[in-house]
Every structure is written in structure tokens, then in C-alpha cells.
Structure 1
């Protein structure tokens, strides 16, 4: 990363498809930021699965009882995002933001 004017930061280049998935806990403002190779729905599912494996199912369910998402196509695998990676039980409940 290289520093540019003031507090702006830049990384990579225009051709990069990489992006960040940011999860922010509403009350504590705890942030979880995961680097994704692209904005594909499969990449988002894989990131959720990886995070659940790292935290363990119980902690994941405690931290992310519900998640509010925007309406981007990267969140289109709703069933897969809501289901635990190993047990297929519910790991979270997803809600989608409604724009006015």
C-alpha cells in the first residue's frame, strides 16, 4: 500500500478484480474484513465458510445471529450463506436492505 494525499490509501491497480467483504457488528462496531478474489457469489460463500471454520460454528452463530446485506448479486446464494458448512444447520439469518 502506498500513501496518497491525507488519509486516502490505495492498493492494487485498475485491472484487479479483488474486493473486500466487510462485516460490521452494529452495537460494538467490531469489523471483520475479508479479502475476496472477486465479487462472485461463490467467493462470498467461500468466505463465510472459511470464517465459520476459523471461528467455530458456535462462535460464528453468536457473533452473526443475523446479517443485513445489500441487494448485490454477490449475495445471491442465500441458502448457502445461511447454512453451516459442516452440519447444514442454520448459522445465521439473512436480511436484505430495502432502498427507498
Structure 2
């Protein structure tokens, strides 16, 4: 990712000036804008901006605040995909297989998950993609949206999506991936001993939070 490149450059070339990650993204989008004859490529926020989140979410001091996105096989809205939700404090992962990634489908199946576990979700921060346009209708959970073209604002979820790619390759159909297989892959991530969690598992920490 661009953010990783910027970080590596700063680490290995400390004597050279280096723009920040947002500056690089703005430069790229500005070039895209002009290469398309000036047609606007800038996305508008779908709802509450990430800037409106309480400070406790940013600090990861309070659990049950999540980040969300989609992991896609074939990039067509009528194809199955995975909706991924990552809890920011514990890195616990919820993965929902969805039959397509139309906005109405994403909203309906997320609402079903929230209704199943009403005590799990205080907020979710999504990407600004059109597939999440109906998330403003969600009840029982506050929804926020990251800035356009700013994946580092949902870095916890992006990292877990990378782990999921071990089980779901880009460009491959997900039609043959059963719910049992999706759960098996999710369990593999949630049961993984991770350095960032002081070698606890995400499931272990998440269960401690929801039982306390």
C-alpha cells in the first residue's frame, strides 16, 4: 500500500524529505482527476464522517467499536463477497458471506447481524464505497465513514482482510465457498496468537470484554 511505502521510505531514507500518506493520495487523485478531462472523481461522504467519532474510539480504550469493508472475489455487484467486521480493540473478526454486494444487500445482512448480537456493536466505520450507501439506515449501531481513498483510516480491518486473503484469492469466484468454510477461515484468524495482542487470541480477548 502507499502508506506502507511512505513508512518504509521514511525509515530507510531518513535524510530525505518525504510527503505524508494523505499528501501522496491527494496527489494521485489530483492526477487522476486531470487525466479524465477534469471530471470529478471525488466521492462525497455517505453519512457521519470518521472525524465525528468519539475520542474513545480513536484511542481504542473502549471495546465494541468496529471497522468494516468487503472482500471480493470477482468484482461484480451480482457476485458473492464477504462483509468483514473487525473490532478495533481486540481485532476480533466477524465475516458474513453475502450473495451480492448491492447496497441494499449489505445493509440488510448487517442489520440482521446487529439484531443477532445487539450488545456487540457500538459503532462501525466503513469505507466510503457505494456498496455502503444504505448503511445510514442501520439501527442499533452508530455508523461512520472513512474519508475517500483513505484505507489507512481502517487499518485494523485492512490488516485482517489481508489475513483472509490466505483463504479467498483475488479474482476467484466465491460461489463454491460454503458458510462452514467461511466460518473455518474466520476461526483461524480469531484463534491466532498475535504479537499485537501480547500473544493472546482475538477471540479470547473479545469474550473477556463482552462477559465483563
TM-score (norm: length of structure 1): 0.64
For residues 13 and 97 of structure 1, the distance between their equivalents in structure 2, rounded to whole angstroms, comes to: 24
For residues 110 and 97 of structure 2, the distance between their equivalents in structure 1, rounded to whole angstroms, comes to: 12
Q: Does 1:43 align with 2:105?
A: yes
Offset at residue 66 of structure 1 (A): 1.1
For residues 23 and 72 of structure 1, the distance between their equivalents in structure 2, rounded to whole angstroms, comes to: 15
State the partner residue of 2:92: 30
Please list every run of 5 or more consecutive structure 2 residues that lacks an aligned counterpart in the other structure: 1-72, 151-212
**Residue correspondence of structure 1 range 75-90 to structure 2 within 5 A:** 75-81=132-138, 83=139
For residues 14 and 73 of structure 1, the distance between their equivalents in structure 2, rounded to whole angstroms, comes to: 13
**Residue correspondence of structure 1 range 47-86 to structure 2 within 5 A:** 47-55=109-117, 57=118, 59=119, 63-81=120-138, 83=139
Kindly report the root-mean-square deviation, in angstroms, between the aligned alpha carbons of the 2 structures: 2.4
For residues 127 and 106 of structure 2, the distance between their equivalents in structure 1, rounded to whole angstroms, comes to: 13
Q: Does 1:97 align with 2:146?
A: yes
Structure 1 stretches of 4+ moved >6 Å? 12-16
For residues 13 and 22 of structure 1, the distance between their equivalents in structure 2, rounded to whole angstroms, comes to: 16
Offset at residue 14 of structure 1 (A): 8.4
SS of the aligned residue for 1:76 comes to helix
C-alpha spacing 1:32/1:13, structure 2 compared with 1 (3 Å): same
CA deviations over 1:63-90 (Å, ceiling 9, x no partner) = 2211111011111013322x2xxxxxxx
Q: Number of paired residues?
A: 76
Structure ranking higher in helix proportion: 2
For residues 39 and 24 of structure 1, the distance between their equivalents in structure 2, rounded to whole angstroms, comes to: 18
Structure ranking higher in strand proportion: 1
TM-score (norm: length of structure 2): 0.32
SS of the aligned residue for 1:77 comes to helix
For residues 13 and 72 of structure 1, the distance between their equivalents in structure 2, rounded to whole angstroms, comes to: 16
State the partner residue of 1:88: none
